[in-house]
Amino acid sequence: MRIAFDEDRVTVQAPAKLNLFLELLARRADGYHDLETLMVAVDLCDQLSLQSRDDGELHLAADWAATIPCHTSLGDVPAGHDNIVVQALERLRERAGVSLGANIRLRKRIPSAAGLGGASSDAAAALLGANVLWDLRWTTAELSLLAAELGSDVPFFLGASAAVCRGRGEQIEPLPSLPRLDVVIVRPPEGLSTPAVYGRCQVADSPASVDPAVAAWRRGDIAGLARHMTNRLEPAAEALSPWIARLRAAFAEQNCYGHQMSGSGTSYFGLCRHALHARQVASRLRARDIGYVVCTRTISLLAPEQGDQQAA
């Protein structure tokens, strides 16, 4: 996460993620699934800014950035306690035993119900930002425990730019950052609810291993990585939304290294060959009117330990 200070304000850029590999290992008794996923952060960011309040109030002002087209039917940004940012700050404050509040400004760019981790990233940004704002000095490991209570994907966003995530997603094995990957992401006009997709998914008899994809990642072999891309949630999402098959067909014509759905959908992405190729793919897909098209790239994040808030 990139964190900046401006007088009394802390501003955090909260990136989206893509799942380059996602396999389900088992259905658990607690309703979750054990999984193995290779996640990368991309330079499509929500912006969260925080100012401390002495009266203990947590006041959230949240909206969509003007760049998000309204036809994407993203709905309202949750307000007040319904927003995971407020829930994150309430829990952090309670555990840390502080009585301070905050004015919170959230400018959303990451489409919701999209499998891009927007809300999870916002929650992680809130924890990292308030840790600085309220001078709590929690370590990343301490923040991770609280992050996992808020959602399976939240711990990833505390530090890693690329990682294998296991358990229900909260066990993070950071990977070295690769040179940038140019990607195009499309969020079709409809989203999907994560529990609905997980509720329909099937665990394979012999789940695929993430190891070949990780080995290709470590070699910097994008073509090899693309050959091992998979998302076990895609068939379930495809049964719930006609957009997944449409997007697959559209990306199949774009000469990408590989393409698939991210997370529980409905966003779909392609790994492009270089920045110009990504711009060309984005422009061709925009002409088809299949949703909100984003041309972006992977980013590097540094784990910000207390006292080291500068991240790349």
The residue range among 97-105, 147-155, 221-229, 243-251 that interacts with ligand C5P, by the rule CB under 6 A, is 147-155
Q: Between the CA of residue 109 and those of 4, 43, 47, 158, 296, what are the distances in Å?
A: 18, 11, 8, 19, 12
* Interface with ligand C5P in residues 190-209 (CB under 6 A): 194-195, 198
Rounded-to-integer distance, Cα 122 and Cα 110, Å: 10
What is the closest distance, in whole angstroms, from the C-beta atom of residue 89 to ligand C5P in the complex?
17
Comparing CB distances to ligand C5P, the nearer of 102 and 147 is 147
Give the total of residues touching ligand C5P (CB under 6 A): 12
Comparing CB distances to ligand C5P, the nearer of 30 and 289 is 30
The residue range among 126-134, 149-157, 171-179, 241-249 that interacts with ligand C5P, by the rule CB under 6 A, is 149-157
Question: Do the strands 33-53 and 258-261 form a parallel or antiparallel pair, or are they unpaired?
Answer: unpaired
Q: From the list 33, 107, 109, 277, which residue makes contact with ligand C5P (rule: CB under 6 A)?
A: 33
Question: Strands (DSSP E) along 144-291, which ranges?
Answer: 162-166, 171-174, 182-187, 230-231, 258-261, 268-271
Comparing CB distances to ligand C5P, the nearer of 260 and 264 is 264
17 has catalytic annotation: yes
Active-site residue, selected from the candidate residues 8, 17, 55, 221: 17
What is the closest distance, in whole angstroms, from the C-beta atom of residue 140 to ligand C5P in the complex?
19
* Interface with ligand C5P in residues 38-67 (CB under 6 A): none
What is the closest distance, in whole angstroms, from the C-beta atom of residue 75 to ligand C5P in the complex?
17
153 has catalytic annotation: yes
Task: Give me the sign of the Cα torsion angle 139, 140, 141, 144.
Answer: positive
The residue range among 47-55, 148-156, 211-219, 286-294 that interacts with ligand C5P, by the rule CB under 6 A, is 148-156
Distance of CA 179 to the CA centre of its chain: 19
Residues with Cβ within 8 Å of residue 195, at least 6 apart in sequence: none
Q: Decide if residue 228 touches ligand C5P (CB under 6 A).
A: no
Q: From the list 152, 231, 266, 296, which residue makes contact with ligand C5P (rule: CB under 6 A)?
A: 152
Rounded-to-integer distance, Cα 275 and Cα 296, Å: 9
Active-site residue, selected from the candidate residues 30, 153, 182, 205: 153
Q: Decide if residue 101 touches ligand C5P (CB under 6 A).
A: no
Eight-state DSSP code of residue 298: B
Q: Contact letters (x/-) for ligand C5P, 154-183, by CB under 6 A?
A: --------------xx--------------
DSSP string covering 77-91: PP-GGGSHHHHHHHH
Rounded-to-integer distance, Cα 187 and Cα 112, Å: 9
Comparing CB distances to ligand C5P, the nearer of 151 and 265 is 151
Locate 207 and state its tokens: 């789940």
- Among 37, 39, 38, smallest CA distance to 17 is for 39
Residue 44 phi/psi, 5-degree rounding, is -125, 105
Q: From the list 3, 18, 35, 116, which residue makes contact with ligand C5P (rule: CB under 6 A)?
A: 35
Most distant CA atoms of the chain, gap in Å = 56
Rounded-to-integer distance, Cα 1 and Cα 107, Å: 15
Rounded-to-integer distance, Cα 157 and Cα 302, Å: 10
Question: Do the strands 101-108 and 230-231 form a parallel or antiparallel pair, or are they unpaired?
Answer: unpaired
Comparing CB distances to ligand C5P, the nearer of 180 and 198 is 198
Q: From the list 101, 111, 151, 159, which residue makes contact with ligand C5P (rule: CB under 6 A)?
A: 151
The catalytic residue positions are 17, 153
Enumerate binding residues for ligand C5P (CB under 6 A): 31-33, 35, 151-153, 168-169, 194-195, 198
